[in-house]
Amino acid sequence: MRDVSIIGIGQVAVGEHWDKSLRELGYLALSAAMRDAKVERIDSLFVGNMLAGELTGQEHIGAMIADFAGLRGVEAVKVEAACGSGAASLRMGYITVAGGMSDIVACVGVEKMTDRPNDTVTSALAMAADNDYEALHGLSFVSINALLMRRYMHEHGYRKEDFAPFAINAHANAVNNPYAMFHHPITSRQFAESKMIADPVSLLDSSPIADGAACVILAPTAIAREFTEKPVRIRASTIATDSVAVHDRRDPLFLEGGAISAQKAYAMAGVGPGDIDLFEVHDAFTIMSALSLEAAGFAARGKGVALAAEGQINLGGRIPITTMGGLKARGHPVGATGMYQIVEVATQLRGEAGHNQVPSAHLGMAQNIGGSGATVVTTIMEGN
């Protein structure tokens, strides 16, 4: 197996791109990453995407984006794992380079959501859940997270306002990220007063839907320095699964897929949670941040929220999370999100995170989650 590095990164600012189509967004991120890597051709393209068919009426977007980007003829395929699609496409690219099948591989995450009305998007997102046994009963994706949050508060004795530090930290970090959707900080008072969507989840617990695209270029580490001064090594790449429906989990408050995925990644990299300098969590909802921190071994059961209250998740804390705004404030273009996380960790490890730079960041981890925990993709990266 060959060692694999990221030799180029590219991203489009997350937001409402009413003037850009899905293929244009994909192309913009891909071309930016190819410029960054100084490559003019690639061997393979993996496109992570969840909802192109449902929201834009277009499937077959591997070939579509390859052609639109002037790469006609190249191997290209779409990868889907709900909101975990972005990082899942990186995993496919990683396997391809590590296995020696291709040398230069592009992995793009792309999503176009804002053309459609809210209830259509709400229904589309519910497809990440179990259609026959969750969505049929009128559960939105938000409400599934609400069920988890309410039970978590009940079992561990937290109040709703205890979750505020996750959202406040994310917004504070997004202020300095030019690619983030939001650039305003929020206060605990705003958090407490924000509109209820599915009790106890309110608007400021939730990440916003958006359009976006991000991309990385992979190459064997042995030749990475021919392209860049700052290659970022992929020390581990894993995917693990759990039941799609929350009610089928052994313990709904423990993300077993997250734990398996993280443990496999730690073993692959030969490190533990104590060695990780920053962690991009899948904060689709504040409760998911808490459950992810616990599943990945950064906090004991029921202590994820306490870790946030102690300020340990902030820049300068023991384990900074959502360092560029996270899903909450960078925005959550679902199938692209996992790739934004990878690009953000790479940015930190290249020392290019500006005001948000985690000092002497050496090892960074990203964990991208499909659905409420059914697919969990973990990536550990190492800087120079």
Helix axes 334-349, 85-98, angle to 10 degrees: 60
Site string for another protein, 73-112 (x = CB under 8 A): ----------------------------------------
Say which residues have a Cβ less than 8 Å from residue 218's Cβ, sequence separation at least 6.
4, 5, 6, 7, 90, 93, 94, 97, 104, 105, 106, 107, 234
Which of these is catalytic: 17, 83, 107, 215? 83
Q: Are strands 44-48 and 75-79 parallel, antiparallel or unpaired?
A: parallel
Strands of 242-324, DSSP E: 278-280
* Site for another protein, residues 253 to 312, rule: CB under 8 A: none
Number of residues interacting with another protein: please give it, by CB under 8 A.
36
What residues between 120 and 139 interact with another protein by CB under 8 A? 120, 122-123, 126, 130, 132-139
CA angle 77, 333, 188 (to 5 degrees): 155
Radius of gyration of the chain (CA): 19
Q: Does 150 bind another protein (CB under 8 A)?
A: yes
C-beta of 102: minimal distance to another protein in Å?
36
Kind of pairing between the strands at 75-79 and 196-198 = unpaired
User: Is the alpha carbon torsion for 277, 282, 288, 294 positive or negative?
Assistant: negative
Q: CA 171, 364, 262, 133: dihedral to nearest 10 degrees?
A: 30
Query: Does the active-site annotation cover 332?
Result: yes
User: Least Å distance between CB 321 and another protein?
Assistant: 25
List the beta strands (DSSP E) in 23-104: 44-48, 75-79
As measured in angstroms, the least distance from the Cβ of 297 to another protein is 25
197 lies in the site for another protein, by CB under 8 A: yes
Q: Is 201 in the site for another protein (CB under 8 A)?
A: yes
Among the residue ranges 24-32, 70-78, 143-151, 346-354, the one whose residues contact another protein (CB under 8 A): 143-151
Q: Tell whether residue 196 is a contact of another protein (CB under 8 A).
A: yes
Q: Which is nearer to another protein, 252 or 320 (CB)?
A: 252
Q: Which is nearer to another protein, 106 or 142 (CB)?
A: 142
Distances (CA, A) of 155 to 114, 256, 302: 37, 18, 8
| Residues designated as active site | 83, 332
| Binding interface with another protein (CB under 8 A) | 118-120, 122-123, 126, 130, 132-140, 142-143, 146-148, 150-151, 154, 196-201, 243, 245-248, 252
